[in-house]
Amino acid sequence: MSAASGPHRATGLPVLRGLVRGQLARTFGGPAFDPTADRGDAGLTGPGSPSWRVIAEPAAIAGGVRGLLLQVAHPLAMAGVYDHSAFRDDPLGRLQRTSGYVTTSAFGSTREALDAAARVRRAHPHVHGVAPDGRPYRADDPHLLGWVGIALTSSFLAAHRAWAPVGLDRADEDRFVLEQSRIAALLDPRVDLDELRADTSTSTAFRAGQVPLPMLEEGYLPRDVEELGSILAAYAPELGVNHQGREALRFLRWPPLPPAIRAAYLTLFGGAVGSLHPDHRAALGLQLPRGAARIAVGNTRAALSLMRRATGTSPSMELARARAAA
């Protein structure tokens, strides 16, 4: 969550702040990094970066839901989740782990962000199989890793454009795409994370683009907004939904959330669907007339505005800023 506008920018509304933050923490998990560790470390992107601004903004919650919808649209990516994920048995746990990875990558120290990437990578060799259409898949395939990465990056960017009170200019949008691509490229098994962890200059080198990242160099991940659009469009022939995807969509439509925040989630889910490109909605089998999509996006804007005023500055960003300044 990010800073709110107006007089409640830093602290939010005192009566509601604790309640809303508590509900969000129970659903998405608390801070996924240790703000007392690695003091002085600015992390992979650093204070003031577009990634800090975007991920700290409440719109990123709706962006995350949108990103999950896009991931479902690729049958091979969906097969990996369906066959090897605990989303049916422990849906909130999976949601918290995903949220924790995104938060740690943005606001954790360099070591913590690399450790988060390593945890994901340790699981990938076990995630392989055959999709319902007979095609083999494996989680560490750069092509599938690229899809998962751009699904999140494009969705966080779309959500920020649609719902953040202060948007990014084009240069910062390009920088956000590059930052997120660099983070996504760490999931490539060809990147030596042990070597990066052992190098005290990694944080500075990573932000300067001096760390070799094969997925970025080979074009699986974009360097700017234009490349993001091109790569996203190139996946279009591969997208569609089968029985696995439809089951995931049923969960996303009605997850086992606490009643107090279910109504808010459903509003964000509607906005996430409404903000999808019509071709992506069609690939998911989600029919939504243009007028209904605009209404859903508007309802999400109103809900996020209330959340922003209630919660104030993102707790994770506050902790990360204090750690970096120590």
Q: Using one digit for the tens of pLDDT, what is the confidence trace for 88-105? A: 666 666 667 788 899 999
Burial 69-81 (b: 16+ CB within 10 A, else e): bbbbbbbbbbbbb
pTM for this one? 0.90
Q: Is the pLDDT of residue 267 over 50?
A: yes
What's the helix, strand, coil split of the chain in %, to 5? 65, 0, 30
- How many Å apart are CA 105 and CA 284, to the nearest integer? 28
Helix axes 142-163, 59-72, angle to 10 degrees: 140
Which of 148-157, 223-232, 256-265 bottoms out in mean pLDDT, i.e. has the lowest? 256-265
CA-CA distance, 255 to 277, in Å (whole number)? 23
For residue range 246-257, what is the model confidence (pLDDT) as tens digits? Answer: 999 998 888 877
Mean pLDDT of 275-291: 96
Are 1 and 315 within 8 A, CB to CB?
yes
What's the chain's Rg over C-alpha atoms? 19
Return the structure tokens found at 297: 């996006």
**pLDDT number for residue 108:** 95
The least confident of 19-33, 177-191, 304-318 is 19-33
> What's the confidence (pLDDT) of residue 325?
93
Structural tokens at position 273: 């669907």
CB atoms within 10 A of CB 127: 18
Q: 15 pLDDT band (50/70/90 cuts)? A: very low
Look-up: residue for tokens 């995807």? 245
Percent of the chain with pLDDT over 70: 88
Q: What are phi and psi of 137, to 5 degrees?
A: -145, 155
Whether 65 contacts 136, CB under 8 Å: no
Distance, CA of 287 to chain centre: 24
User: What's the whole-number average pLDDT of the chain?
Assistant: 89
Residues 6+ apart with CB under 8 A from 306: none
Asked whether 214 and 191 are in contact (CB, 8 A), the reply is yes
- Ordered by start, the domain boundaries in the chain are 6-29+38-325
Q: pLDDT of 94-148, one tens digit each?
A: 667 788 899 999 999 999 999 999 999 999 999 999 999 999 999 999 999 999 9
Residue closest to 100 by CA, chosen among 203, 30, 155: 30
pLDDT (tens digit per residue) in 39-57? 999 999 999 999 999 999 9
Are 243 and 132 within 8 A, CB to CB? yes
11 with 312: CB under 8 angstroms?
yes
Cβ partners under 8 Å of residue 218, min gap 6: 142
Above 60 in pLDDT, residue 10? no
